Chain A
């Protein structure tokens, strides 16, 4: 299932041939139209909340809820995007989140791909059992061990520091899975030849495997970055000081503080989503491959 080229879906269901009778052709055309109708409907349902978010972020506060609903802001209030920076600590929140996301992504990609090589390519006693421990944690939600984890973290004096978020996000099993899946698609002969040439396992990892796994590394980096950027529960549990707040935490405090500032709340929401949306659109291919090949989320 690794790196399936999803950009070229196999036309499995509808493959109208020329040999069909005309009745059949009519039916297949109707079928096609139905497909488009369903596509448009589903797209509308998926996009409407985003449209609302952007439109409301550009309205005056009184215009957000009107009867009948207006789907175009009039006047367009660009000022909201200036005001939000003065009314909130957006800069601090964004900076904290960016810092965390970058550090976590770096650590997760590095330790994950390194460990995955050990699981995929080095055979030693106890390896499969160890991997089972990683697999087993898919079935264990973080919510069920957040209490003892918090106790441990407090004992280490890490709670209420940005390090706590780095610690809980950077060593997840997801990186190990994704990279192991990918490494297993690389022919063993390559490493075998390198071994004969006298390259150590570390040399093989660095010189042969790493350069080959760029797409998988990109997938993992994108998934990790997004997960960390969007994480709400981790910061909620661990970060108590206002100056440590991440964008999710900050946005939520802003919402409870100014709960009647509908337009400004939407402005903040747009700003919180924008960086991830841009990154996602740029690296879409890797992102989708990453999800398709692991079936896991952070």
Chain B
């Protein structure tokens, strides 16, 4: 934190002048932020307890939406699929991003060029990515199965055409897209570890693996924590990639929570019920973040 202009309690005029100045700076952004983010979040908790439909006629229905959700097998499928995606996407991306960052932190030729490429998937639009990968994953003629066939896999998977393999396909693409982004955060974290620590470890005869475990990992604790929080939220809200790649299918094999909210809300106009499902998504993301913050705090102290 920067040092701020000192304000003494008795200097009321300065405080009020600062308040006016401060608010005037924040207001243009805050008006939009409050109206389009804060207000909707508050309204969400009202709509979820109503049967709001497309005509805007809303009756308070209490917990009816939530009771309906409890018996809604599609909701549970969506929740299960979202967890499936997260459970694989988070560790895979974490490992890939850290691996890439360690690789790029070495003095090798072409590192700068590589960093640019690693970032390319992240700046490419989801629609383009999804359609390219769908061609690559094409079961009969796609290059991925051609490669698998070449290394001796007899019956390569059907990928997005198969209920079993569509989720793994989506996870692969998700990891491919985001690893460069998180790599950058790790790379920034690696810069903050003093080189002396490595020199000292090397003098003590520590192997590369020992140096990684005892110097790199502890030094990256804050970054890893931050990356995990972002990755978790990103995984649970996954939507556009799946929507364009598989549309939730085949069947409901890749239906995720966000898409279920979209279906119920914008395709079936059941705003009340969709909001109830939204609260579950909200609760998961917010809850996991709070838990992660608390665990991190305890570990640090």
Report which A residues bind B (CB closer than 8 A). Answer: 1, 4, 6-7, 9-15, 31-32, 35-36, 38-39, 42-43, 45-50, 52-53, 56, 64-69, 110-112, 114-115, 117-125, 127, 130, 133-134, 137-152, 167-168, 170-173, 175-176, 183-184, 186, 188, 192, 195, 201-202, 205, 226, 229-230, 232-233, 236-237, 247-248, 251-252, 255, 262, 265-266, 269-270, 272-273, 276-277, 280-281, 284, 287-288, 291-293, 295-297
Contact = CB atoms under 8 A, between A and B. Distances in A.
Nearest to A32: B108
Contact of B233 (A10, A50, A141, A172): A141
B282 A49 contact: no
Interface of B: 1-5, 7, 15, 18-19, 21-33, 35-41, 43-44, 47, 52, 56, 100, 102-112, 114-121, 123-129, 131-133, 135-136, 138, 140-143, 146, 176, 180-181, 184-185, 187-188, 190-193, 195, 198-199, 208, 211, 216, 226-227, 229-230, 233, 236-237, 239-240, 243-244, 257-258, 261-262, 265-266, 271, 274-275, 278-279, 281-282, 285-286, 289-290
Contacts of B1: 184
A47 B116 CA distance: 11
Contact of B275 (A32, A45, A147): A147
B43 A252 contact: no
B25 A201 contact: yes
A13 B127 contact: no
Contacts of B143: 48, 52, 69
Contacts of A192: 5
A139 B286 CA distance: 5
B123 A230 contact: yes
Nearest to A49: B132
Nearest to A276: B123
A11 B106 contact: yes
A229 B289 CA distance: 29
A139 B233 contact: yes
Nearest to B27: A115
Given A49-B136, A111-B29, A147-B278, A141 B285 contact: yes
A110 B27 CA distance: 12
A175 B266 CA distance: 29
A9 B198 contact: no
Nearest to A269: B128
12 contacts: A6-B115, A9-B190, A47-B120, A52-B143, A112-B29, A121-B5, A147-B265, A147-B274, A173-B33, A205-B25, A273-B125, A273-B128
